[in-house]
Amino acid sequence: MSGTMPRTSNQGARLRRRTLLAAPASAAAMAAAQQEGAGARRPRILITSAAHPLAMTLARALGKDHQIRLTDREPVSSSFESIRSALDKPEETAALVQGVDAIVHVAEASSGDNDRQTLDWLTRGTYHLLEAASKARVPKAIFLSTLELMTAYDANYTVSESWRPRPTTDARILGKYLGEVVCREFARDRKIRAMALRLGKVVKFAETAGKPFDPMWVDEEDVAHAVARALATTPSDNHQGVGSQWAVVHIGSDSPKARFSIGGAKYALNYQPKVKW
């Protein structure tokens, strides 16, 4: 017995020594794997209407913390992943949303579309997109609508998100309203959590210098901030409905002369726009 014990002790010591010598390499490998894993776990965001300037602004802003996938009917030249889709074929749309964690539906029809095509794309296209998303268990969709749905009210009224939209017969404005309805019905059926951000007239602040002030202006970078906040919002109970299946918020500037209040967005999303004309 006395001859066996020293050999066991030495073997244990050698094993411990080999373990200690290997530890730095293992730690480095683990750290590298963790970094790769962290990168792979960044949420993947699908952004539609990629040819529209706002979509690229959103892609650049959101790309800091998300993986970006772009889509449009025509090929788009970009450093981001891009998949061509007209949102009119169920099989293609199903492939488009695979592996996606959220959708930002910019929902801008092509400038060459006629009224019928515009309405069709904003309704049937939105339906196909959300149907595919719900089947793929995508948890959230953000629909970029317009505050032009609310301009029929007197400018002296304080029009909030609880007021009924009053769309005109303009195909784009009517299409945005109908797109909202599609999103709302999917959300009410609990197929996906959806939120509509009604945007003012999206502009670049630097390009407004010397122009007459428009109370509907909102800077594109502030819109990107609003979308980022909408993506980051976690379920909670508040008067805007954020955290429930369906919510609507108004996104404009923080100017005292702005047409619509952004109090709801500030409260619900912690929206803090930088531009104040």
Q: What angle do CA 245, 96, 228 make, to 5 degrees?
A: 50
pTM of the model: 0.83
The mean pLDDT of 52-71, rounded to a whole number, is 97
The mean pLDDT of 174-185, rounded to a whole number, is 98
Q: Can you give the C-alpha Rg of the chain in angstroms?
A: 25
The span from the CA of 126 to the CA of 144, in Å, is 12
What is the greatest pairwise CA distance in the chain?
Answer: 100
CB 103 within 8 A of CB 138: yes
The span from the CA of 160 to the CA of 155, in Å, is 12
Q: What angle do CA 196, 43, 130 make, to 5 degrees?
A: 40
Mean model confidence pLDDT for the chain: 86
Strands of the chain, DSSP E: 44-47, 67-72, 81-84, 102-105, 140-146, 193-199, 201-203, 217-219, 246-251
End-to-end Cα distance, the chain: 89
CB 269 within 8 A of CB 242: yes
Give tens-digit pLDDT for 200-256: 999 999 999 999 999 999 999 999 999 999 999 865 544 455 557 999 999 999 999
Number of H helices, E strands in the chain: 8, 9
How many residues would you count in the chain? 277
**pLDDT surpassing 90 at residue 107:** yes
**pLDDT surpassing 80 at residue 115:** yes
The span from the CA of 181 to the CA of 199, in Å, is 16
The span from the CA of 143 to the CA of 183, in Å, is 8
Specify the pairing of strand 81-84 against strand 140-146: unpaired
pLDDT above 90 covers what percent of the chain? 77
The per-residue pLDDT for 243 is 52
Structure tokens at 155: 């400018």
The span from the CA of 73 to the CA of 106, in Å, is 13
Amino acid found at 13: A
Q: Which of 227, 180, 253 is nearest to 61 (CA)?
A: 227
Q: Which residues, 6+ apart, have CB-to-CB distance to 203 below 8 Å?
A: 214, 217, 218, 219, 220
For the domain spanning 44-269, the CATH number is: 3.40.50.720
Q: Which residues pair with 203 in a beta bridge?
A: 219
The per-residue pLDDT for 32 is 37
pLDDT above 70 covers what percent of the chain? 82
Structure tokens at 153: 């009210």
Give tens-digit pLDDT for 3-34: 444 444 444 444 343 333 333 333 333 333 44
> What residue has token string 């794309």?
121
The per-residue pLDDT for 111 is 85
The mean pLDDT of 105-128, rounded to a whole number, is 96
**pLDDT surpassing 80 at residue 132:** yes
Q: Which residues pair with 248 in a beta bridge?
A: 196
**Domain map (residue ranges) of the chain:** 1-41, 44-269
Question: Judging by beta carbons within 10 Å of its beta carbon (0-12, 13-18, 19+), is residue 226 exposed, middle or buried?
Answer: buried
